[in-house]
Structure 1
């Protein structure tokens, strides 16, 4: 079995663990790295109990809002591509 070189899951886990431990700066550091890497798995962040410690913080809300904007932009781009190519997906 090959070992994955994709560190995305490790970065997610580190952000989760640091948030749960109360080390918010480190949690945000890894969330920012994920954002810079273009991580598109946003749904988990809204329900993950590891983020309960920071869920109501303004910085976390701003982070989630930024992710929502990026996700919506990507949806529009896909919709435009579908329209241009007349795809029925």
Structure 2
């Protein structure tokens, strides 16, 4: 979906291709690689990513903890957001 929003489509090809710069190709490949990584609460980078997600979504509301009822404000299933990232 994001490709359709960010890049112009060529003709009406059912399998569109996109003209990407080398930097865009690298970024897209990085995203593809990250998709395959499961969330692991023991990895500090994953914890920081959750904090960054919260901070980007709720600029003026401090997150009390990685396990918190606050996550329900973001439509997480429960107070532990890791259950939503499988």
TM-score by length of 1: 0.30
Tell me which protein shows more helix as a share of its residues.
1
Structure number with higher relative contact order (C-alpha < 8 Å, ≥ 6 residues apart): 1
When normalised by structure 2's length, the TM-score is 0.31
Structure exhibiting the larger radius of gyration computed from Cα positions:
2
